[in-house]
Amino acid sequence: MEKQEYERMHALESQYWWFVGRRAIIERLLQRPHRLTALSGISPLDGLDLLDIGCGTGANLPMLRRFAGPAGRVTGIDFSPLALRFACDHPGLSSARLLQGDAMRLPFRDASFDVVTMFDVLEHIPDHCLALQEVLRVLRPGGRYIFSVPAYQHLWSAHDTALHHFRRYEYRDLRALLRSSGYRVALLSFAMSLMPPIAWAWRRFVLPFKARRPQNAQRHSEGAILPPAPGPLNAALVKYLECEGRIIARRRLNFGTSLVGIAVKP
């Protein structure tokens, strides 16, 4: 992503509803039945080794730290040194290990982690098949890959271009991709269920006027829009997504602008 996007992410991800709500949904996935500490051969007292690929400016790492346990370890890796500089300044990350690296060539030994997370990262990677193979390689047997990605290719807009996305995902295609990559899909659900009509209207009627540029323009930061949300609306959206997270932990939703899931290494 561009420098402006990292700066904005760093400023907003601790309070803006989309970031806070996504974190609430992911936290529910981490808490769902057959919890992470039920992984084969792992005692709750042993702790878990977690890897967050594309950790960005680090806002999700404190949450992951809680699930690692006292004896566990959290590692964050990102391709951007700028993102890691922001992450180093994030409060509560003194115990996390931060590394620069490429998701398509992870600098870790085979079977190094119990859990690997990628939150809206896979769509940024040119070869997502290679990245998924790398995740599978560094996971221990029975380990979990927990992720979120943007849904519906027909919602592609200047927002995706500005954020350097290579693709958005369809439910069936993503499930098939995970299975062909060697995973067992334990959960795959849409999320952000209120957003499809809003996202369509925003992309159709607002973004074209905010980000006019020729078809062959280079990717840039203009067009990545996070609509402002007044305090009460922001809080209400967070509460809604917290409720949505509780639903997704029990059964999948059939529509939404994101896809979230858990895939298991056999």
pLDDT tens figures, 165-222? 999 999 999 999 999 999 999 999 999 998 766 666 666 666 565 544 434 333 334 4
Range of lowest pLDDT (59-63, 91-95, 103-107): 91-95
pLDDT for the residue numbered 219:
37
- What does the pLDDT average to over 101-109? 97
The count of other CB atoms within 10 Å of the CB of residue 55 is 29
pTM score, two decimals? 0.85
The helix/strand/coil state of 77 is strand
**What is the residue type of 113?**
F
User: Higher confidence at residue 111 or residue 41?
Assistant: 111
- Confidence band, pLDDT 50/70/90 cuts, at residue 223: very low
Ordered DSSP codes for 43-72: -TTT--EEEEET-TTSTTHHHHHHHH-TT-
pLDDT for the residue numbered 5:
63
pLDDT for the residue numbered 152:
92
Positive or negative: CA dihedral 141, 143, 147, 152: positive
pLDDT for the residue numbered 200:
63
Q: Find the length of the chain.
A: 266
pLDDT for the residue numbered 222:
44
Residues 6 or more apart in contact with residue 259 via CB below 8 angstroms: 148, 149, 150, 151, 169, 171, 174, 188, 189, 190, 191
Taking all residues of the chain, what is their mean pLDDT, rounded to a whole number? 84
pLDDT for the residue numbered 154:
86
User: What is the C-alpha separation between 213 and 207, in angstroms, rounded?
Assistant: 11
User: What is the C-alpha separation between 147 and 94, in angstroms, rounded?
Assistant: 24
List the Cα angle 6/10/16 in 5-degree steps.
Answer: 115
pLDDT for the residue numbered 201:
64
pLDDT tens figures, 61-70? 989 988 888 8
User: What is the C-alpha separation between 254 and 224, in angstroms, rounded?
Assistant: 26
| Closest residue by Cα to residue 50 from 258, 42, 187 | 42
Domains in the chain, start-ordered, CATH in brackets? 3-264 (3.40.50.150)
pLDDT for the residue numbered 89:
75
Exposure string (b/e) for 141-169, b if CB count within 10 Å is 16 or more? eebbbbbbbbbbeebebbbbbbbebebbb
| Closest residue by Cα to residue 171 from 254, 262, 250, 249 | 254
pLDDT tens figures, 125-150? 999 999 999 999 999 999 999 999 99
- Contact indicator for 190, 261 with CB cutoff of 8 Å: no
